[in-house]
A and B are shown apart, each in its own frame.
Chain A
Amino acid sequence: MDVSLFIPCFVDQMAPRVGLAVATVLERLGHSCEFRSAQTCCGQPSFNAGYWDEARAVAIHAVEVFAGAEAVVGPSGSCVAMLRVFYPQLLKDTPHETAALDLAARTFEFGEFLVRKLGVTDVGARFPHRVTYHDGCHGLRELRVRDEPRQLLRAVRDLELVECDEPESCCGFGGLFSVKFPMISTAMAEVKGAALDRTGCDFIVSSDPSCQLQLDGWLSRQGKRPRTIHLAEVLAGADA
Chain B
Amino acid sequence: MSTGTPTTPAAGDAPHQAFEAAAPRLAKKKFLHDAEAHVRDTGHRDFVRRALGGYYASRDLQKSRYHDWDQARDAAAIAKWSAVNRLDELLPRFVAAFEANGGVVHWARDAEEARQIVLDIVRDAKAKAIIKSKCMTSEEIRLNGALEQDGYGVVESDLGEFIQQLRGEPPYHFVFPCMHVRRGEISDLFGKFLGTPPTDSPEELTMIARRHMRRLYVDADVGITGANFLVAETGQISITENEGNARLTAALPRVHIAIAGIEKVIEHLDDLSVLLPILATAGAGQPMTCYNTLYAGPRRPDEPDGPEAMHVVLLDNSRTAILADPEQRDSLHCIRCGACLNVCPIFKNVGGFTYGTTYQGPIGSVITPHLRGLADWNHLSGASSLCGACTDACPVRIDIHHHLLHNRRNAARTAPGRLERLGHRLFALAAVRPRLFACGGGVFRRTLGLMKLLRPPLLREWLATRDLPPAPRRSFRAEWGERSRNATRRPTG
Contact = CB atoms under 8 A, between A and B. Distances in A.
Interface of A: 7, 9, 11-17, 19-20, 23, 35, 37-41, 43, 45-52, 54-55, 57-58, 60-61, 137-138, 140-142, 168-170, 172-174, 176-189, 191, 213-214, 216-218, 220-221
Given A7-B476, A51-B416, A170-B387, 13 more contacts: A7-B477, A11-B476, A13-B471, A37-B438, A41-B427, A41-B437, A169-B387, A174-B385, A181-B383, A182-B462, A188-B349, A216-B467, A217-B465
A102 B384 CA distance: 30
The 7 closest A-B pairs by CB, nearest first: A174-B385, A217-B466, A50-B408, A50-B412, A170-B387, A16-B476, A141-B388
B36 interface: yes
24 contacts: A7-B476, A12-B438, A13-B472, A14-B471, A20-B483, A35-B476, A35-B480, A43-B431, A51-B428, A52-B409, A55-B424, A58-B428, A141-B388, A169-B389, A172-B345, A180-B382, A183-B39, A187-B350, A189-B465, A216-B467, A217-B465, A217-B467, A218-B466, A221-B465
Nearest to A7: B476
Contacts of A177: 382-386
B388 A142 contact: yes
In which size bucket is the chain B interface?
A: 35 or more
A55 B431 CA distance: 10
B424 A49 contact: yes
A15 B388 CA distance: 26
Contact of B441 (A9, A138, A168, A170): A9
B60 to A, nearest CB: 13
B431 A48 contact: no
Nearest to A90: B409
A61 B386 contact: no
A14 B392 contact: no
A176 B430 CA distance: 18
Contacts of A220: 466-467, 469
B212 interface: no
Interface in B58-84: none
A49 B412 contact: yes
B36 A16 contact: no
B377 to A, nearest CB: 14
A9 B176 CA distance: 44
Interface in B395-435: 405, 407-413, 416, 420-421, 424-425, 427-428, 430-434
Interface string B462-488: 101111110110111111100100000
Contact of A16 (B35, B345, B459, B479): B479
Contacts, number: 205
B107 interface: no
Given A16-B474, A177-B385, A182-B465, A54 B427 contact: yes
B480 A19 contact: yes
Contacts of A170: 345, 385, 387, 389
B386 A54 contact: no
B467 A221 contact: yes
B299 interface: no
B483 A187 contact: no
A2 B477 CA distance: 19
A12 B441 contact: yes
A15 B441 CA distance: 12
A11 B475 CA distance: 8
Contact of A50 (B349, B388, B405, B461): B405
Nearest to A10: B441
A169 B345 contact: yes
Nearest to B427: A46
B45 interface: yes
A186 B39 contact: yes
A40 B480 contact: no
B346 interface: yes
Contacts of A183: 32, 35-36, 39
Contacts of A178: 385, 461-462
Contacts of B464: 182
B442 to A, nearest CB: 7
A122 to B, nearest CB: 25
Contacts of A188: 345-346, 349, 385
Given A16-B475, A51-B421, A57 B428 contact: yes
Of A15, A61, A181, chain B has the most CB atoms within 10 Å of the CB of: A181
Contact of B445 (A13, A39, A216, A221): A13
Contacts of A50: 405, 407-413
B389 A57 contact: no
